[in-house]
């Protein structure tokens, strides 16, 4: 049974969950997953970031914070685009260890991305990729991003598409010792809230895009055939007022 949409706020993933895996919180889940965590496909996010008009050019010379940096995949891309300094923030110490090995971050901070200890207006821009589905409150996320980014700076957010999430597949992995499939807590955020909550927190929408599973994707990754034609991720680029 699907959940009746609310006026605002996340929808419970439990209403759509088709797998019913044991679910762990973010810290405990990634503590286990980090040992076998591999890089995600760039088609989910980096291709969207690259295609956004003028966005990659804004990174050159910028101080950027990577909110939910994980193993540092997005931070490495940001550094490759000419950022002067990249700071990574993540709740998982194990994922931060993986990020350290990339040697692209000026600073790594273990913290909840909605309540960081970093001084306000420290950055020219922020990026966050495939993270906010783990965050219960988009308002809390955008409030902290607005605090960290200077006026006139940018924020780019990529997340799994709510339509894809509503098909009932959670963020999950197979336990490296037992083989058990384990999910990490997810929240389904409606597209409208990426507009409403962001603008309420002082951001202006600059760009929006979606990534669909196409024939080329299926050719390379046969397991996505059942998702052919579906939107899998979405990008929002904002400017801080």
Q: What average pLDDT score do residues 196-210 get?
A: 98
Q: 113 lies in a domain?
A: yes
Written as six digits, the tokens of 159 are 């997340």
Written as six digits, the tokens of 167 are 């098909």
Convert the pLDDT of each residue in 77-104 to its tens digit: 999 999 999 999 999 999 999 999 999 9
Q: 174 lies in a domain?
A: yes
Phi/psi-derived region of residue 179, left when phi > 0, alpha when psi is between -120 and 50, beta in every other case: left
Q: 153 lies in a domain?
A: yes
Residue 19 has a pLDDT of: 87
Residue 234 has a pLDDT of: 98
Question: CA 19 → CA 40, 133, 197, 201, 221, distances in Å?
Answer: 21, 17, 30, 35, 21
Residue 40 has a pLDDT of: 81
Q: 7 lies in a domain?
A: no
Spatial contact of 64 and 126, defined as CB atoms under 8 Å apart: yes
Q: 1 lies in a domain?
A: no
Q: What average pLDDT score do residues 33-46 get?
A: 89
Give me the number of domains the chain comprises. Answer: 1
**Rounded CA separation 54/62 (Å):** 14
Q: 127 lies in a domain?
A: yes
Helices (H), the chain: 26-33, 46-51, 55-59, 73-80, 93-100, 138-148, 162-165, 191-200, 215-220
pTM of the model: 0.93
Q: 31-35, 67-71, 88-92, 140-144: which has the minimum mean pLDDT? A: 31-35
Most confident of 29-33, 125-129, 220-224: 125-129
Most confident of 6-10, 106-110, 173-177: 106-110
Residues in contact with 49: Cβ distance below 8 Å, sequence separation at least 6, in sequence order: 55, 56, 77, 127, 129, 156, 158, 235
Q: 51 lies in a domain?
A: yes
Q: What average pLDDT score do residues 178-206 get?
A: 96
Spatial contact of 227 and 164, defined as CB atoms under 8 Å apart: yes
**Rounded CA separation 100/118 (Å):** 19
Residue 3 has a pLDDT of: 47
**Rounded CA separation 54/17 (Å):** 37
pLDDT band at 45 (very low <50, low <70, confident <90, very high): very high
Q: What is the overall mean pLDDT for the chain?
A: 94
**DSSP 8-state code for residue 42:** G
Written as six digits, the tokens of 45 are 């996010």
Q: Which domain holds residue 231?
A: 12-240
Helix (H) or strand (E) holding 64: strand 63-67
Helices (H), 68-222: 73-80, 93-100, 138-148, 162-165, 191-200, 215-220
Residue 13 has a pLDDT of: 87
Residue 148 has a pLDDT of: 99
pLDDT band at 8 (very low <50, low <70, confident <90, very high): low
pLDDT band at 37 (very low <50, low <70, confident <90, very high): confident
Instruction: Read off the CATH number of the domain in which 74 is found.
Output: 3.40.50.150
Convert the pLDDT of each residue in 92-143 to its tens digit: 999 999 999 999 999 999 999 999 999 999 999 999 999 999 999 999 999 9
pLDDT band at 233 (very low <50, low <70, confident <90, very high): very high
Written as six digits, the tokens of 208 are 């929006």
Pick the closest to residue 238 from 169, 170, 138 (CA basis): 138
């Amino acid at each position: 049974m699907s959940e009746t949409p609310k006026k605002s706020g996340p929808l419970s993933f439990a209403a759509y969950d088709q797998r019913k895996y044991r679910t762990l919180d973010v810290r405990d889940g990634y503590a286990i997953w980090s040992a076998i965590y591999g890089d995600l496909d760039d088609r989910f996010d980096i291709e969207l970031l690259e295609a956004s008009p003028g966005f990659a050019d804004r990174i050159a010379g910028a101080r950027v914070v990577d909110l939910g940096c994980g193993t540092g995949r997005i931070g490495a891309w940001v550094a490759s685009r000419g950022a002067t300094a990249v700071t990574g923030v993540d709740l998982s110490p194990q994922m931060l260890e993986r990020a350290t090995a990339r040697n692209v971050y000026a600073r790594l901070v273990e913290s909840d991305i909605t309540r960081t200890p970093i001084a306000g207006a420290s950055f020219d821009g922020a990026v966050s990729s495939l993270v906010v589905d783990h965050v219960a409150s988009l308002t809390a996320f955008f409030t902290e991003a607005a605090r960290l980014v200077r006026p006139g700076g940018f924020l780019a957010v990529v997340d799994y598409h709510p339509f894809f999430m509503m098909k009932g597949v959670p963020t999950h992995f197979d336990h490296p010792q037992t083989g058990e499939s384990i999910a990490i807590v997810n929240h389904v955020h409606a597209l409208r809230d990426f507009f409403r909550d962001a603008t309420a927190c002082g951001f202006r929408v600059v760009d929006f895009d979606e990534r669909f599973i196409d024939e080329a994707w299926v050719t390379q990754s046969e397991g996505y055939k059942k998702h052919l034609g579906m939107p899998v991720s979405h990008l929002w680029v904002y400017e801080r007022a």
